[in-house]
Amino acid sequence: MSLLQALYNSYEYAKNNNMIDDNDSCDIILPLYHDSKKSNGKNIISIKLDKNSNVVDSRFLTKEDSIVFPVTEDSVARSSGASPHPIVDNGSYLFDKGSNKNIAYMTQLKYWLDYSDDDFLNVVYKFLSNSKSFVKILDKLYIDYEIEENLKVSIDDPNSKKSKKMR
């Protein structure tokens, strides 16, 4: 039996025994073309939108929470080029309007919409097309902040005399 056949058989066994995408177990077997990321309490933002693409809530995931998200063949191994993940990605792809990464992300999302006119995708596309989308998220996260160059955010922390920077 070849290595690929053994891997395929193992994956099929896991799939048939409900072991894939089981977040309750310690080790998760990801579905094909998916990846995961663990939160450190400040690196993953959950954003809730209403049907009109308005931000209802945004918050940082708590430490040790993790997310599973879809990837493409190109985006899973990206290093320096513009290879966006579908739906979930980092700020430079979502909010750096006009950058190569943002254009690639929005173009990919538009192609997806052209293929499947899905309400959820339309809400996300409309929200991300808004030039103030990043500000609307930050307004739900912080009372006092300033957006600096390269999407760096300076926050005034009432518990500290220094401002903090997040990226």
Question: Does residue 14 sit within a domain?
Answer: yes
- Per-position pLDDT tens, the chain of length 167: 777 777 788 888 888 887 776 666 556 678 888 898 999 999 999 999 999 999 999 999 999 898 999 999 889 888 878 999 999 999 999 999 999 999 999 999 999 999 998 999 999 999 999 999 999 999 999 988 888 887 888 887 655 444 445 54
Looking at the structure, tell me whether residues 49 and 19 fall in a common domain.
Answer: no
Looking at the structure, tell me whether residues 112 and 126 fall in a common domain.
Answer: yes
Domain that holds residue 21: 1-32
- DSSP β-ladder status, 145-147 and 153-156: antiparallel
CA torsion angle for 126, 50, 68, 164 (degrees, to 10)? 80
Looking at the structure, tell me whether residues 69 and 54 fall in a common domain.
Answer: yes
Query: For 102-111, b where at least 16 C-beta lie within 10 A, e where not — what string?
Result: bebbbebbee
pLDDT value at residue 88: 93
Looking at the structure, tell me whether residues 51 and 99 fall in a common domain.
Answer: yes
In contact, 48 and 56? CB cutoff 8 Å:
yes
